[in-house]
């Protein structure tokens, strides 16, 4: 451990908000991932900004984590600083009629609940996506015909030099599972969401219906990171994988879900290496059978051992 860095981090956030060698498997829905060298959970914009400026000054890589629901973290963990924007930074406020302002760590399910309480419609699609709004802007998360792009007015972001500024919906360049946030390495701070006045019962009914659809189709009782692959143009990844005969195919503790072939699940003791090898095998078989290369939606972060190393941002 770099005592100097630890001391400096503790000068920015409270000591209890700086962990060392924190297992990432405790912070990912896959329940996979080795230790983060430093794991910091800031409370304010100023703290977030100072942590990033410190990393830059000390030439230490950092990675921004939300709820870890779209990540595969390497078994050897993440070197540098993981900045978790989640429970300490998750305020949800009704700013004016129809506009909700949220801090990046707020869960989409909580925002959906807040919208329902205030009889606002348009956010029902996101209620079952288990991420933070920061991660959802980064990914332009979407489901059942809705996506973040439909509801965002603007977001405030922090760049790698510590500047805070606003980006409008258009400036966020939201497209299928992409935004400018990833391309430029921005950190999402706050998001303004516009919704319409609705009927409480109708909102509840829609949420309930979508929830039932998820429960009946997805392996929600097993650790995963959601859809493993992006939807290839004109196809469904899950159907291609099923038609390739890979339903239930297993590598170590990683398995193609029998309930939904688009999900790789952790059957208990899966390692990042198991998941990586399973993903490669799926890609190989699907390419061979149908000539389509499946592109992972799940993001690989950290150190996977051997030469399989991905850099933290
Ligand atoms: C069971 C299950 C179902 C799912 N269903 C869906 C679905 O229907 N639709 C869908 O789109 N996704 C789905 N997902 C995937 C996932 O929930 C979304 O991608 C979600 O938006 C990720 O948010 P997160 O907070 O967990 O981000 P993380 O997984 O923590 O991070 C994802 C990426 O976002 C970045 N990031 C996180 N927070 C910030 C921030 N504040 N600023 C900048 N970058 C940030 C990270 O650096 C990383 O690159 C599902 C996942 C699971 C496990």
Full DSSP string of 182-247: HHHT-EEEEEEEE-EE--HHHHHHHHHHHHHHHHHHS-TTS-EEEESBPPPTTS-HHHHHHHTT-T
Q: Are 269 and 261 in contact (CB under 8 A)?
A: no
Reported residue count of the chain is: 313
Q: How far apart are CA 189 and CA 166, in angstroms?
A: 10
pLDDT of amino acid 2: 80
CA of 180 to the centre of ligand 1 (A): 15
Question: Ligand 1 pocket, 139 CB below 6 A?
Answer: yes
Catalytic, out of 31, 177, 179, 257 = 177
CB 126 within 8 A of CB 108: yes
- Beta-strand relationship, 35-40 and 78-84: parallel
pLDDT given for residue 313 in this prediction:
35
Annotated catalytic residue 177: yes
Pocket test for ligand 1, best of 55, 138, 218, 311 (most atoms within 8 A of CB): 138
User: Which position among 69, 224, 227, 257 bears the catalytic label?
Assistant: 227
For 247-265, give the DSSP string.
TT-EETTEEE-SS-TTEEE
Among residues 37, 124, 190, 297, the one annotated as catalytic is 297
Question: Does the CB atom of residue 131 touch ligand 1 within 6 A?
Answer: yes
Atom of ligand 1 nearest to the CA of 63: 47
Neighbours of 30 (CB within 10 A): 26
- Evaluate: CB of 120 within 6 angstroms of ligand 1: no
At 309 the pLDDT is: 44
**Residue 227 annotated as catalytic:** yes
CB of 223 closer than 8 Å to CB of 267: no
| Model pLDDT, residue 1 | 72
The answer, yes or no, to whether any atom of ligand 1 lies below 6 A from the CB of 129, is yes
Report whether 131 contacts 173 (CB < 8 A).
no
Asked if 24 contacts 78 with a C-beta cutoff of 8 angstroms, the reply is: yes
pTM of the model: 0.96
- Tell me the pLDDT tens digit for each residue of 59-106: 999 999 999 999 999 999 999 999 999 999 999 999 999 999 999 999
* CA 46 – CA 64 distance, rounded (Å): 15
Residues of the chain with pLDDT under 50: 308-313
Which residues have CB under 8 Å from 90's CB, separation 6+?
Answer: 102, 103, 105, 106, 107, 110, 132
Comparing C-alpha atoms, which of 184, 84, 139, 85 is closest to residue 296?
Answer: 139
What is the distance between the alpha carbons of residues 127 and 206, in angstroms, rounded to a whole number? 10
Nearest CA to ligand 1 atom 37: 135
Rounded to 5°, the CA angle 111-114-117 comes to 155
CA of 187 relative to ligand 1 center, distance in Å = 14
pLDDT given for residue 252 in this prediction: 97
Nearest-angstrom CA–CA distance, 271 and 75: 6
Residue ranges and CATH numbers for the domains of the chain are 3-84 (3.30.43.10), 92-204 (3.30.465.10), 229-296 (3.90.78.10)
In this structure, what is the dihedral angle of CA atoms 234, 175, 40, 82, given to the nearest 10 degrees?
50
Strand partners, 108: none
Residue 97 buriedness (CB in 10 A; 0-12 / 13-18 / 19+): exposed
Residue 109 annotated to the active site: no
| Nearest-5° Cα angle at 152, 147 to 157 | 115
């Amino acid at each position: 451990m770099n005592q100097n860095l630890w001391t400096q981090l503790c000068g920015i956030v409270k000591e209890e908000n700086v962990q060392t060698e924190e297992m990432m498997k405790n912070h990912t829905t896959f329940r996979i991932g080795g230790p983060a060298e430093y794991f910091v959970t800031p409370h304010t914009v100023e703290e977030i900004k100072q942590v990033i400026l410190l990393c830059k000054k000390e030439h230490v890589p950092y990675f921004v984590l939300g709820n870890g629901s779209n990540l595969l973290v390497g078994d050897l963990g993440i070197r540098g600083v993981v900045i978790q924007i989640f429970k300490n930074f998750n305020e949800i406020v009704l700013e004016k009629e129809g506009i909700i302002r949220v801090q990046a760590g707020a869960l989409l399910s909580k925002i959906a609940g807040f919208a329902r309480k205030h009889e606002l419609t348009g956010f029902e699609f996101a209620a079952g996506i288990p991420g933070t709004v920061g991660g959802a802007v980064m990914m332009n998360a979407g489901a059942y015909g809705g996506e973040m792009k439909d509801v965002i007015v603007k977001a405030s972001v922090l760049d790698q030099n510590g500047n805070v500024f606003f980006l409008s919906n258009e400036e966020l360049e939201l497209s299928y599972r992409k935004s400018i946030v990833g391309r430029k390495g921005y950190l999402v701070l706050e998001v303004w969401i516009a919704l319409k006045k609705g009927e409480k019962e109708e909102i509840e009914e829609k949420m309930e219906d979508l929830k039932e659809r998820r429960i009946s189709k997805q392996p929600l009782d097993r650790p995963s990171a959601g859809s493993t692959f992006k939807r290839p143009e004109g196809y469904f990844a899950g159907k291609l994988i099923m038609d390739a005969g890979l339903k239930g195919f297993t590598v170590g503790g990683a398995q193609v879900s029998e309930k939904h072939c688009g999900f790789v699940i952790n059957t208990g003791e899966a390692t990042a290496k198991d998941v990586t090898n399973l993903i490669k095998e799926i890609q190989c078989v699907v390419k061979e059978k149908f000539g389509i290369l499946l592109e992972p939606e799940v993001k690989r972060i950290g150190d996977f051992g051997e030469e399989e190393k991905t850099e933290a941002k």
